[in-house]
Amino acid sequence: MIRLATTHDLIAIDSLAVKTIQAMHAEGLFQWSLAYPRQSHFHIDIEQGVCYVYVQNGEVLGVMSVMPEREDSYREIQWIKKDSLVVHRLMVDPSTRRQGIAKSLILFAYELVSDKSLQSLKIDTHPNNLPMRSLLKSLHFVELDFLHGIHRIAYERVHHDLALTKVLIFGNSGTGKTTLTKQLSKKRNLAALPLDSVYWLPNWQSLPDETFTRKVDDFMRSNDRFVMDGNYMRSASLPKRLEAADTLIFLDYELNVALQGVKQREKEYRHRYRTDMAEGCIENVDQEFLSYIVEFNKKRRPALLRLLNSHERTKCCYVFQTREALENWLNSIKDVSYVRRSRNN
């Protein structure tokens, strides 16, 4: 359970701080000293109502302070958003590492951003704190610049309530791009467009790119809220799709996951066409299609990662490497009530 800390927690919090700092020092990480952060610092946080504790069976196993941004040291770099909460003094009992406590605390702070009608969550950490840096990356924080004044690396994650209105989904065949499109369409009331359904005509005849681009452009102009899946990296439609989107998602799964997905899809639609495809586009895995899937991570994955990296400061970018990670993220997204999504309605 995560709750606001009280002064009755101070002794337990200070004991946790000492254990955490000593464990860090033993590992060669000098992010904090034994003089900071300690009881006096957490006491101020508690009085200001910004200190939270993770409690299990009556024992304090984690602590953090979450407060509005007001640090002078943060002014030396360019952040993504201005109205933000900042996580400070996040500590977890060393005996409970790898139990997801730090992750739970950060995600709790992330939801406070929405509760307080703010825009993003910010946090900084020591360059040598590799476990924290890895955790922040897995939680879709953007690594920004180095804060020289405090010798820390700055991270920020924009809350998805500000995005998820114009979504592009990328990934290998068989990773579930269209399935995710349908899920987000329902959850966020978005008009859905699998790009394959536009590009492929009956009997696997392809649409000229000029016509394809025009149809995609018409779809985006007609809908204020949309989600579309498909790569089409060489299409003239890509720059327009990227310009319009506020969210980019890459299903960056291992090859065996993609192959299993294609196998299941072929079994389900064998000798018939999918409902999201043109009539006559019978599901079939031939050698050319199989080669595309097998070579995807080598030939196309690097370009997609560069694409998302180049937009991570201006759009919400998500890279999911497992279906479980995607499912956890989906479960964190709130359903929206009816929102008009077409300009023609």
pLDDT at 257: 96
Is a pLDDT exceeding 60 seen at residue 265?
yes
Among 323, 334, 329, which Cα is nearest to 187's?
334
Residue 340 lies in a domain: no
200 plus 312 within the same structural domain: yes
**At 278, is the pLDDT very low, low, confident or very high (cuts 50, 70, 90)?**
low
Range of the domain at 61: 2-159
Task: Please compute the mean of the pLDDT values over residues 68-77 and round it to a whole number.
Answer: 94
Whole-model pTM? Answer: 0.84
- For the segment 20-25, the average pLDDT, to the nearest whole number, is 98
Residues 117 and 236 in one domain: no
Q: How many domains does the chain have?
A: 2
Could you report the per-residue pLDDT of 123-163, keeping only the tens digit for each? 999 999 999 999 999 999 999 999 999 999 999 999 988 88
Residues 93, 96, 97, 99: is their CA dihedral positive or negative?
A: negative
Is residue 193 located within the same domain as residue 92?
no
Q: Looking at 111, 135, 159, which one is the last position of a domain?
A: 159
The CATH number that applies at residue 229 is 3.40.50.300
Are 113 and 177 contained in the same domain?
A: no
For the stretch 160-204, pLDDT in tens is 888 899 999 999 999 999 999 999 999 999 999 999 999 988 878
In a domain, 339, yes or no: no
Beta carbons of 161 and 81 less than 8 angstroms apart: no
Pair 157, 120: CB distance under 8 Å: yes
Residue 10 sits in a domain whose CATH number is 3.40.630.30
pLDDT over threshold 60, residue 344: no
Please report whether residue 103 resides in a domain: yes
Residues 96 and 70 in one domain: yes
- Split at pLDDT 50, 70, 90, the class of 343 is low
* Dihedral angle sign, alpha carbons of residues 130, 305, 303, 296: positive
Do 16 and 110 sit in the same domain of this protein?
Answer: yes
HSE at residue 315, side-chain half, CA atoms within 13 A, is: 22
Final residue of a domain: which of 106, 130, 159?
A: 159
One domain, residues 215 and 86 = no
Domain presence at residue 8: yes
What mean pLDDT, rounded, does the chain reach? 92
Residue 343, in any domain of the structure: no
- From the list 80, 157, 165, the residue with the least C-alpha distance to 114 is 157
Query: How does pLDDT run across 201-241, given as a tens digit for each residue?
Result: 887 889 999 999 999 999 999 999 999 999 999 999 999 99
Q: Are residues 176 and 294 in the same domain?
A: yes
Residues 6+ apart with CB under 8 A from 186: none
Please tell me the least confidently modeled range out of 16-20, 29-33, 286-290. Answer: 286-290
Does residue 342 fall inside a structural domain?
Answer: no
Together in a domain, 67 and 141? yes
Q: Which of 178, 294, 141, 299 is nearest to 234 (CA)?
A: 299
**Residue holding tokens 């101070």?**
10
Q: How distant, in Å, are the alpha carbons of 87, 134, 145, 146, 239 from that of 127?
A: 16, 11, 11, 9, 35
What burial class does residue 313 get, using C-beta atoms within 10 Å of its C-beta: 0-12 exposed, 13-18 middle, 19+ buried?
middle
Residue-wise pLDDT for 93-123, tens only, equals 999 999 999 999 999 999 999 999 999 999 9
Say whether both 224 and 154 belong to one domain: no
Q: Supply the pLDDT for residue 345.
A: 47
Domain membership of residue 288 (yes or no) is yes
Distance of CA 60 to the CA centre of its chain: 28
Q: Are 45 and 64 members of one domain?
A: yes
Give residue 275's pLDDT. Answer: 64
Q: Is residue 234 part of a domain?
A: yes
Q: Above 70 in pLDDT, residue 274? A: no
151 and 170 inside one domain? no
Q: Which of 115, 143, 159 is the last residue of a domain?
A: 159
